[in-house]
Structure 1
Amino acid sequence: MGEGTKAVSVEVRGKSWQRHGEQAWRTMIERQRASGMSILAFCEREGVSRSSFGRWRSLLARRATGAQRLEECTVGEHAAVAAPRSGFVDAGMLRMGGVSEPVEMRLELGGGIVVTIRRG
């Protein structure tokens, strides 16, 4: 199995359950659609919480919609990289230890507004 497809067993105060990663939920949602079963029946068969299934289905649908907005977004003649309207864009981490070279990040917000962050 690829990363994110394995379930992790969790136990708290004598109660145990499986935590599934994003890819496992994507696969499970696709399997439910293909099964023709109701969500409730599928969740009971798979031993997953109906509320968790619904939460992940909603979350992944929003992410897909956000990704589509990113593809459609353009500024002038150039494609723009933009965050989904209600999402978070992970810009990665800046390593602080032992790096002496300058780092600059520019965020063009539109309307002539540019935020520049420099280190070094």
Structure 2
Amino acid sequence: MDQGKEVRPRRVDHWRATVEEQANSGLSVREFCASRGFALSQFYYWRRCLTATEQLRHGADPEAGTLSAFVEVDWGRWARARGMPPLEIRLDLGGGCTLTLRRG
């Protein structure tokens, strides 16, 4: 779902039930939306959001081709090709503790 927008749990529950109802209805998405007065874009938006949320919540199965919660980014090769310094991320954890991650 869009970052920065607060979504009320009731609305999420409503759309979760609506998406499930369509899946069990035997109707196409177009027919289902027409019978309920929903815009196709609205239905597809919520179905996509709910699917992504569920995949992230339950982890990923790369063998099954589902969405992974972690994505490998080969920043080092890209940065070296452009003459950029290696990637370094520093996190100040407080209490004098710093975590430094270097790649490249």
- 1:32 corresponds to: 22
Secondary structure at the counterpart of residue 37 of structure 1: coil
Aligned 1:1-120 pairs, distance under 5 A: 4=10, 21-69=11-59, 84-85=69-70, 115-117=92-94
Greater fraction helix: 2
**TM-score, with normalisation over the residues of structure 2?**
0.51
When the two structures are aligned, how many residues end up with a matched partner?
62
Secondary structure at the counterpart of residue 38 of structure 2: coil
Greater fraction strand: 1
AA in 2 matched with 1:37: L
Return the alpha-carbon distance in structure 2 between the equivalents of residues 29 and 43 of structure 1: 10
**TM-score, with normalisation over the residues of structure 1?**
0.44
Higher relative CO (CA 8 A, sep ≥ 6), structure 1 or 2? 2
Answer yes or no: is the 8 Å Cα contact 1:66–1:85 preserved in 2: no
Return the alpha-carbon distance in structure 2 between the equivalents of residues 48 and 117 of structure 1: 49
Return the alpha-carbon distance in structure 1 between the equivalents of residues 26 and 94 of structure 2: 51
Once the 2 structures are TM-superposed, how far is the Cα of residue 53 of structure 1 from its aligned partner?
Answer: 0.4
After superposition, the CA RMSD in angstroms is: 2.6
Where does the alignment leave 5 or more consecutive residues of structure 2 unmatched?
Answer: 1-8, 62-68, 72-89, 96-104
Secondary structure at the counterpart of residue 69 of structure 1: coil
Secondary structure at the counterpart of residue 61 of structure 1: helix
Identity %: 24
